[in-house]
Structure 1
Amino acid sequence: MPIELVGRRLAAGCVALCLGAVSFSVPASAFVDEIRGGIFAHDPFSTTREDDHADINVELVFETPSFLSWAGNPRPRLGGTLSGGPGTSLVYLDVLGWTFNLTDNLFIDGAIGGAIHDGDLKGNRPDKRYFGCRANFHQSGSIGYRITPQLSIMASVEHMSNASLCDQNDGLTNAGIRLGYSF
């Protein structure tokens, strides 16, 4: 099976898992703190970008595991960004993620972890992105506003790259808007 198909299936499965958590919110709320989802512009900041299109991003934010409470209570995240076109899809696990309240309603959020993707690894076409490794680092950041105690809206950006650990490292940055629902 081609890696592109595997990556799309992984990203689609992650999206389905997150949507399923909303459908069964009572059991999910036992370990899931929040679910987020939205639309991202695919790689809008790059001069050598993949085709322009919108991506779907969905993310589960978990409660802080007790063994990480010493690190400022980070909330791990499992998410996926499903490409809406022929571009790269990815699935990520951000083990360290924090939300900082600036006011009662305004907050910032950041996370770091790892991702796997279905993009090209090596090549030299100027109109394509090459990621060097199948597994890369993943970082994200958001600024958000709590509309209600349970519902928030966020301007978000995510970045995936290998920190030059592999031969090629074009990286991928997506940006967009998401809604969050806290259980």
Structure 2
Amino acid sequence: MRVGTVTGLSLLLAVVGAPCASAVDWKKPASPQRGLLSEFRFGFSAHDPWGAESRGNSANLTGEILFAKPFTASDLFTSYFIPRPHVGGSLNFDGQTSFAYAGLSWTVDITPSLFVEGSIGGAFHDGDTKTSAMSRNLESLGCSPLFRESGSVGVRLSANWSVMATLEHLTNAGACSENRGLTNVGARVGYTF
């Protein structure tokens, strides 16, 4: 899947979502349930568009499950400091680096419909770790596991549905001899339980 296709799918997602967003009342996320799961997300991302693995204009299918906050705060401001645990994965369509990850996510409401999110955690990947990997147009990631950070800007279409743009980066932070890193950018749809 090419980056152009991912961009097209992202725009389609935004165009289809916009009329739905205007047709519903802007609401806060669905009220927290006492269940284990909080939200499921899926989408596509351009695979390392600025790195060595970008030469094939490859794309990833992404999926993520966010769990409920371990406890709730009495006020909205304090609740922003309580993270939601998450697990997820990114499957590359062209045999380049795929990975599974886990970590913590913090979501902050800017308006009732607009939110930002930051995540930190770790990831295990199937990519190359040696310097010779560069000769095959793959990133030399140095080791596995890696640190994973991500940031998202999203819009709530209803109490349950949202769309978001996400930037994620994987790195060993200098813990191994090679540290090329891997950066993906994409769009996701979320469903809050």
Q: Does 1:159 align with 2:169?
A: yes
- Judged with a 3 Å threshold, the aligned counterparts in structure 2 of structure 1 residues 123 and 67 are, in CA distance, closer, same or farther, namely farther
How far does residue 128 in structure 1 lie from its aligned partner after superposition? Answer: 2.6
SS at match of 1:76: strand
Q: How far apart in 2 are the matches of 1:67 and 1:145?
A: 23
TM-score w.r.t. the length of structure 1 is: 0.78
Partner amino acid for 2:113?
A: N
Unaligned regions of 5+ residues in structure 1, if any?
1-27
- What is the rounded CA distance, in whole Å, between the counterparts of 2:145 and 2:139 in structure 1? 15
The aligned counterpart of 1:10 is none
Letter in 1 for 2:96: G
Query: TM-score normalised to the size of structure 2?
Result: 0.74
Distance (Å, rounded) in 1 between the aligned partners of 2:72 and 2:113: 29
Q: Is 1:105 the counterpart of 2:113 in the alignment?
A: yes
Note the C-alpha offset of 1:35: 0.4
Corresponding position: 1:43 with 2:43: no
Contact 2:61–2:92 (CA under 8 A) maintained in structure 1? yes
Moved >6 Å (runs of 4+): 67-71
Residue 52 of structure 1, CA deviation: 1.8
Corresponding residue pairs, total: 154
CA distance in 1: counterparts of 2:158 and 2:79, whole angstroms: 29
Partner of residue 83, structure 1: 92
Quick check: 1:150 aligned with 2:160?
A: yes
Structure showing greater Rg: 2
Post-superposition Cα deviations, 1:77-129, rounded to whole Å, max 9, x if no partner, equal 100000111110000001x2100000000000110000000000012335331
How many Å separate the matches in 2 of 1:43 and 1:107?
25
